[in-house]
Amino acid sequence: MTDQWLISQAPGPYAEVRLFCFPYAGGSAAVYHKWLTLAPRVLHVTGVELPGRGIRLTERPYLRLPPLIRHLADRIEPLLHRPFAFFGHSMGGLVAYELARALRERGAPRPRHLFVSATAAPGTPRRRRSLHAASDEEVLQEMRDLGGTPRVLLQDKELMAMAVRTLRADYTMLGTYEHRPSDPLDVPMTVFGGTSDEIAPLSHLRGWRTHTAADWQLKVLPGNHFFLHARADEILKTVADSVDPVRSAGAPA
């Protein structure tokens, strides 16, 4: 299934939980393309496509988080008649968290679980300077340093020009984000971290404990900031075990 905001396949007969997946800064729903086939059958993986990337590349990206969250909530709320969970990596983790809070404010159904990956807890001091006012070359260098962009794309000047626009917009959204304190979510939370992640080190992940009144765990995996690519199988197993009581009890997948 494909529409403006959501990209997924038809759910399998055993898919009990819809997993909405939010990309990192500069990324698109294609980040989770392999998850469509890798995911345990209990999960219905749905990639969230934000404006300014992927199939929406020609659209203007958001520069502020609140309007993005409002529009996401409008789009997703009618689909929450069945169990669901959120997964977000880096910027996507913050989007998933704020969306869960927005749904609570609306009195909408809550996620069965919130999965936050390589995302510093709200209120944590930034380790890197904001690049929303940086030059194009500085933004490109940031993409090279992070290591999440394939080299073949980095060498394509036309694609990189569009990528810089999107990444700059995402950095503007992150740089202007202000956390509004409120009661912790009543949603179980799993936080994933990479052993060598210099952008969201483990010390910046533990603060998530204060943002949920439900069960919480920190799961550490080998890798840098983009460990989700190499560790997709492990992440998806943890996700499936966390949202499916039968799997967590040790029954066959």
> What amino acid positions are annotated as catalytic residues?
90
From residue 81, give the alpha-carbon distance in Å to each of 76, 84, 230: 10, 9, 33
Order of strands across the sheet that contains 84-89: 6-8, 43-48, 17-22, 84-89, 114-117, 189-194, 216-221
From residue 51, give the alpha-carbon distance in Å to each of 27, 71, 186: 11, 11, 30
102: nearest Cα among 128, 65, 127: 65
20: nearest Cα among 61, 103, 76: 76
Rounded distance between C-alpha atoms, residue 219 and residue 238, angstroms: 9
End-to-end CA distance of the chain: 25
* Two structure tokens written together for 34: 């392999």
